[in-house]
Structures are given as C-alpha cells and as structure tokens.
Structure 1
Amino acid sequence: MPLLADPNFHKTVTCICEHDGSGALGIVINRQDIALTARDIFAELGIEPTGEAGSVSIHIGGPVHMNEIFVLHGPPFSWDGCHSITATLAMSNTIDILKAIARGKGPEHFILSLGCAGWGPGQLENELKENTWLTSPIYDEALFKWAPEERWEKVLYKNGINPMGISNMAGNA
C-alpha cells in the first residue's frame, strides 16, 4: 500500500523494471537525494561532465545495490546492457550511457538513481496478494515531466484514486 510503514517505501512510486521467476527489480522514482548530484557520481567514476550534466539530481532507487547507478530513460535504446521495459522506456546501468549523459549526448529524458528495490522469487506476488501495493500502468509523464515530489499523488489521481481516501488497513472485500 502507498502507506507502508517501511521508510524505504512509504508513499513511493516504484517502476518495476524486471519481473520473472527469479524475482523482481524496481526503481523508486519519487525520492531524491538532496545532498548528491550527477557531478558527484561522475567524479566517482572519473567522468568529467560538461554543461548542465553535473547538476542533474540523483534519485534513491531503493535499499538494494546502493552502490550501483541505474538509469531509467527514453530513447535511444542503443546503450550496452539496455533493458527494455516498454516501447518508450528502458533501464541501463553501464558506463557508456553515463559518459553520454555527462557529455550531454545521452537520452533526452532520464532519471539517475542510486540503488534499486528488489524482491526474491514469489515475494512481490505475495505482497500484491496481501494488498501491500497498488498497481498502475507506467506513465512516461510521471517519470519525465512531473516533479518527483508530485509523482505519488498525481499517479494516484491519474488512476482515479483520491489520496485522502487511502486507508492504512488493507484487505479483500
């Protein structure tokens, strides 16, 4: 449920990037690390950013693999290790896309995220059965047009849900 007690997921919007028999991987898209910018990440990787590339905000993608950077992005999808999510969205986490972003030659729309959310085999399915999560289609505007602090509420409204009507109690009627 959007009102999870776990501080890693309280009022989060999570884009599920991979989901198969071995588990699931997602990126939280509405939490930013206000102390970090892309310049910090690029410096760690020995990449010199040009123009505005260094000032891009960094998202907290989840509590797993906190030392890895993940890029949710629109086209082009020609990067090494690019994993297609939808026809208009992919995830990459290789150096070629990071270098391109640093030079201003990367995708037009992207989110840089440290860490991800992960679920073991069957774990996400069980959480969905227990009504732990609300599900939604992926909206490109939620990823790339709406401000991170607006995403949770706007995704709910886009799905016909008034956030004021959400209960802390889950169940099945």
Structure 2
Amino acid sequence: MPADSVSINLTHHFLIAMPGLEDESFSRSVVYLCEHNERGALGLIINKTSTLTLQALLHKIDLPLGRQDLQDDLVLRGGPVQTDRGFVLHDPIIIEGAKDDESAYASTMTIPGGLEMTTSKDVLEAIAHGAGPRRVLVTLGYASWGEGQLESELGENTWLTVDADPQVIFETPVEERYNKAMGLLGLQPWMLSPDAGRA
C-alpha cells in the first residue's frame, strides 16, 4: 500500500451487498465487520439463516437451552470460512473491577463501538444455563478478506458501507435486516437495481 494512500477502518460497520453481487454466500447479505485493519478484515453475515436452531446447536454439544427468549432463534450462516465453528456476537458483559479490555469469556474480541465476538464454548454454557449476554447472535462460519481485498471490492462498488446499528443486528427480524441496513443510508434496494433507469 503506498505511503500516501489513506487507510480506512470499517470496524463496527455494515457491509451491504450491492444488487449486482451474485456470489452465493454474499448475495443480498449484510456483514457486520468485527475487525478491519491493514492485514485484512473479518466479519459475520447477519442476515442468512441456517436450518439449525440455537436449541439444536446446544443439544449437539450436550447443553440445554435455559433461556426462553432464545428458544426460536436460528443459527446464522456467518460466512464461508470455518463453517463448522461457532461465533457469538453479543453485548459486552461488564465485570466489576475488570480492565477495559477484559472480557467475561475466554476467546473474546472486543470490538470498538461496543460489541464483543466470542468463539469459546463458555459463552454458550452461560446461555445454556439461563445467563450470558442479554442480546446474542450465533453464527457458524465467518467472512474474511486478505490484505487490500476488501478495499479492492469497495473500489469495484461491490459493497455499500454504513456505521453499524446494533438494533439491526439484535432487534430486527432476519428477513428485514438487508432493507433496514439500506435504510440507514436512506436507500431502498430498488433504487440500486442493475436494471433501474434503462428505457
């Protein structure tokens, strides 16, 4: 990367797939970026469901689901990388007397902007026993971009970007998240249709 180029940091942003993006994993997707730096980017797709419920996932690892509020939640397809591994995006858990970057769970990335992403089983154990973070989104797999790859895709107008809104992640039904994320930019998907404006 040339020294005079301006680096962008899209951590805690949404990537919204442009209508022309036809890749099976990413078509009409909204990706929450957990990390973006000069080495690349890592994110979770927040609007593609799997057929697996959270209850069934916990059952596979011999855990009950002790929280009524999560009974009907589906596990999401977070991206094409490590699709056999769970990723939990959640509100931070405040520990009395802990340092700012200290989390309640073993393998947690604290995301500037206010969320955490945990890959260790202890967060699922807490949820199983009726505790854990208040708001959670569980995915299998994640999305990643190598050095300069995301910047290149942005230059090709593959993605729109906007500051992430946790309400879209946790409070909006999965099937409405794409339109809701677009709405953060004041757009509707039809406005960007590849066929729009052709006579």
Name the TM-score, length of structure 2 as normaliser: 0.78
Residue 29 of structure 2 aligns with which residue?
12
Is the contact between residue 22 and residue 120 of structure 1 (CA under 8 Å) also seen in structure 2?
yes
Aligned-pair CA distance for 1:119: 1.0
Residue 57 of structure 1 aligns with which residue?
74
Counterpart of 1:48, as a letter, is: P
Is the contact between residue 162 and residue 184 of structure 2 (CA under 8 Å) also seen in structure 1?
no
- CA displacement 1:16-40 (0-9 Å, x = unmatched): 111223321110001111x211122
Q: Where in structure 1 are there 5+ consecutive unaligned residues?
A: none
Residue 85 of structure 1 aligns with which residue?
111
Query: 2-side partners of 1:162 and 1:111: how far apart?
Result: 25
Give SS of 2:161's match.
coil
Counterpart of 2:184, as a letter, is: K
Q: How many residues align?
A: 168
Give SS of 2:35's match.
strand
Give SS of 1:136's match.
strand
Residue 108 of structure 1 aligns with which residue?
134
Query: 1-side partners of 2:43 and 2:52: how far apart?
Result: 21
- CA displacement 1:28-74 (0-9 Å, x = unmatched): 001111x2111222122222332435543111101111001001101
Name the TM-score, length of structure 1 as normaliser: 0.89
Q: Is 1:29 the equivalent of 2:55?
A: no
**2:123 maps to which of 90, 94, 97:** 97
- Give the ranges of 4+ consecutive aligned residues of structure 1 lying more than 6 Å apart after TM superposition: none
Is the contact between residue 15 and residue 29 of structure 1 (CA under 8 Å) also seen in structure 2?
yes
Query: 2-side partners of 1:28 and 1:68: how far apart?
Result: 14
Residue 41 of structure 1 aligns with which residue?
57
The structure that is helix-richer by fraction is 1
Give SS of 2:159's match.
coil
Q: Compare CA radii of gyration and give the structure with the larger one.
A: 2
Structure 2 vs 1, CA of residues 114 and 141 (structure 1 numbering), >3 Å: closer, same or farther?
A: same
CA RMSD of aligned residues (A): 1.7
